[in-house]
Amino acid sequence: MPMLHLGAKNWQARLVSFLSAWMAWGGVSAQEPALTRHDFSGPGMFTTFRISCYTETKEQAEQATEACFKRIAALNALFTDYDPTSELMRLCAPGVVYPVQVGPEMHDLLRRSRELSQKTEGAFDITCGHLSQLWRRAKRQQKYPPQDRLQQAVAKIGAGRIQVLENSQISLQSGTLLDVGGIAKGYAADECLRLLKQRGIPRAVVLAGGDTAIGEPPPDAEGWEIKLRTFTKVGEDDDLTVLHLARCGVSTSGDLYQFMELEGKRYSHIIDPRTGQALTQRVACSVIAPDCTTSDALATAMCVLGREKGTEVAKHLPGVQVRFATESP
């Protein structure tokens, strides 16, 4: 560098000191400590969470991921609709006087959910709780839900039924029942990534079933290797698309091989909240988005919208890419 030859040694020392400080502050990493990959897994939200991260020591990774799994359990306790005592279900309980004060996580998740419902024209909607319960019962009983009950459930769905107010307050229209199953895992994965970064571990990836929150890339790599199903073949024999990604969320949703048959007709596990009907057309979609909360909600919404409408909607969502797949002939 020519500047090093223009002054005395004290100027050289000052310049080296300045460059070192700048690189440490965030310009570039002068000499990153040796990092080792560590992998962990554990149950949460009716799936398996898998966390991979790079740290200087195994102890650092263990302590950080232990905090992550505690966070997952805490979020599940807030968001589950299987426990009548959860914050979500207490918010929807009969006789509640609104507005209701909620925790920061609930307030944030409902705000994000309402926005995503509006952006997907109702294809994603967490006010579908009554509808979810009807189809869960249908699956258990192997019997199609009564049409009048479906119509009643659809009448209680809509993003406008939720008011997200200031000071962590929420109001719901009477009779609204929430189900955040289509966004909670992505939110939890993002939270894990945030906790890891907070503890000085930005090079990490968190998988929650079909949802993946991706942080900074591994050392000497442009991104984490992510394999997306193409749904051209069943199960383990499926062809995969390999991508290398960083600082984003990826989610895959599909009904090609997840369905039930009632009276000889095939019904998807994905329900259109606008009509109350389970999808009968086979479709799958992977979504890449700025974060996993967004990709989780959009993946199912895109299946509901279908290839043509979903692709059009995605064009208006910054940082979102969609990849549709259909059943092989």
CATH of the domain at 130: 1.10.3980.10
Give the Cα separation of 207 and 229 in Å (integer).
15
Do residues 220 and 206 make contact, with C-beta atoms less than 8 angstroms apart? no
Cα distances (Å, whole numbers) of residue 99 to 91, 110, 158, 219: 10, 14, 18, 48
> What is the pLDDT at residue 271?
92
329 lies in some domain: no
Under the banding of pLDDT at 50, 70 and 90, the label for residue 237 is low
Give the Cα separation of 229 and 279 in Å (integer).
20
Give the Cα separation of 85 and 91 in Å (integer).
10
Of residues 297 and 238, more confidence is placed in: 297
- Is the pLDDT at 189 greater than 50? The verdict is yes
- Supply φ then ψ for residue 104, to 5 degrees: -60, -35
127 lies in some domain: yes
For tokens 């100027």, what's the residue? 11
Domain count, the chain: 1
| H helix runs in 208-291, sequence order | none
134 lies in some domain: yes
Could you report the per-residue pLDDT of 147-180, keeping only the tens digit for each? Answer: 999 999 999 999 999 999 999 999 999 999 999 9
Q: State which of 7-11, 23-27, 38-42 shows the largest mean pLDDT.
A: 38-42
190 lies in some domain: no
- What token pair was written down for 90? 């207490």
- Is the pLDDT at 291 greater than 70? The verdict is yes
140 lies in some domain: yes
| H helix runs in the chain, sequence order | 9-25, 58-79, 87-91, 104-119, 129-141, 147-154, 184-198, 292-314
Three-state SS for 263?
coil
Do residues 271 and 131 make contact, with C-beta atoms less than 8 angstroms apart? yes
Preceding peptide of 99 cis, ω within 30°: yes
Q: Side chain identity at 5, as an amino acid letter?
A: H
Could you report the per-residue pLDDT of 95-120, keeping only the tens digit for each? Answer: 999 999 999 999 999 999 999 999 99
Q: CA-based angle 261:263:268, to the nearest 5?
A: 30
Strands 321-325 and 36-44: unpaired
195 lies in some domain: no
Do residues 34 and 48 make contact, with C-beta atoms less than 8 angstroms apart? no
> CA dihedral defined by 271, 275, 279, 283, rounded to 10 degrees?
-90
Give the Cα separation of 264 and 81 in Å (integer).
30
Give the Cα separation of 162 and 117 in Å (integer).
11
130 lies in some domain: yes
Average of per-residue pLDDT values in the chain:
87
Give the Cα separation of 95 and 172 in Å (integer).
12
Strands 204-208 and 47-55: antiparallel
> What is the pLDDT at residue 257?
58
112 lies in some domain: yes
Give the Cα separation of 197 and 201 in Å (integer).
5
Lowest mean pLDDT among 30-39, 198-207, 229-238, 276-285: 229-238
By residue range, what is the domain housing residue 165?
96-172
